[in-house]
Amino acid sequence: MNGETVDVARTGEAALRWLSRNRAGFRLGDGVLDAATEVDRTLKPLGELAQVCVCVCRHTRPGTPHHRLATELLAFAWGQTDHGALFLDLQRLEPAGTYPLEFYAAFASAGLRHSGFEEFAATVTGTRGWRATEQYPNRLLGVLNTERRTGLPAHEEDGTVLCRTWLGSLPEPWMFERGAGYSATHVIFHLTDWGRAVHQVPSWLADYLETWLPPWLDTCLDAGQWDLSCELLAVAASLPSPPDRAMVEDAWATVANAQEPSGALAEAGPAPHRPALPHDFLHCYHSTLMAAYAAALTSARLACDAVGGQGLP
């Protein structure tokens, strides 16, 4: 593994260490079941932590700092859900809500399961109301992947949904903007089960992204959009062909320069003047998670490519 790849891994490790030191920000309060509770400020951060930790564990070796930190954080997150019992309470309160199953799926993919919730979810997802819920296509791809990850039958085919997404339409590249960028990255996350199945990206879409993702990434890096830049780097490492090494090394050098000494990465803004003042948790936790996620995928993919492997280990 060359020096540049080690730097990617170090950026990811620094992000994980910040997340570990700031795990209190992911704790669920006593009112998590209250109707007035904001899911985006409570369950969503915890679910995103779990998802990233599952990915880091999957693409790092046991015994490494990355794997140890991710394993500890995943156990912490599972404990916050009362080992899955919280999801049963949430789904009972809101049977039509997809988010309890979506958050649970990350844990289930790591072998952390709750039989009572899965029994109830099987009933809910078999209803006409669940299958007919109107959603944006990129969100529907996420629900379909969630169903598969928990062992439930997906209620629609990915291919038909993909063509209805912004990215699946192969849009004019100059139509790329922040909102479209997040939609596009999540299409790939859901298609590949968060980087696990890179072969699921069809060749026509992979060709399009191999052409246009590099200038999109350059635009985001130039604009200091660190959160979206890391998501695009994760996409680059989730395509059937390995990413261009020079492109990702240059991009990661820019991201590393934007990372604070603490390991935190702001969502957006100019690279900090060191030493940097700490950001508010809610304004940097997601971008720091994405740095850890993208670094794990990139390091694994470059290492695999270096020995002539195919796909992610």
| pTM of the predicted protein model | 0.93
Q: Count of CB atoms within 10 A of residue 210's CB? A: 15
How far is C-alpha 284 from the chain's CA centre? 15
Is the alpha carbon torsion for 169, 143, 287, 301 positive or negative?
negative
- Which residues, at least 6 apart from 263, have a Cβ–Cβ distance to it below 8 Å? 14, 15, 16, 17, 18, 19, 288
Q: Which residues of 107-137 are buried (b: 16+ CB within 10 A; e: fewer)?
A: bbbbebebeebbebbeebbeeeebeeeeeeb
Looking at residue 40, its pLDDT comes to 85
Question: How far is residue 238's CA from residue 100's CA, in Å, rounded to a whole number?
Answer: 26
Looking at residue 4, its pLDDT comes to 44
Task: State both tokens at 308.
Answer: 């002539």
How far is C-alpha 252 from the chain's CA centre? 17
Looking at residue 31, its pLDDT comes to 86
Question: How far is residue 166's CA from residue 171's CA, in Å, rounded to a whole number?
Answer: 7
Q: Count of CB atoms within 10 A of residue 268's CB? A: 16
Bond before 275 cis per omega within 30 degrees = yes
The amino acid present at 83, given as its one-letter code, is: H
The parts of the chain modelled with pLDDT lower than 70 are 1-6, 272-279, 305-313
Looking at residue 220, its pLDDT comes to 98
Rounded alpha-carbon distances, angstroms, from residue 201 to 40, 141, 176, 208, 252: 29, 13, 20, 11, 24
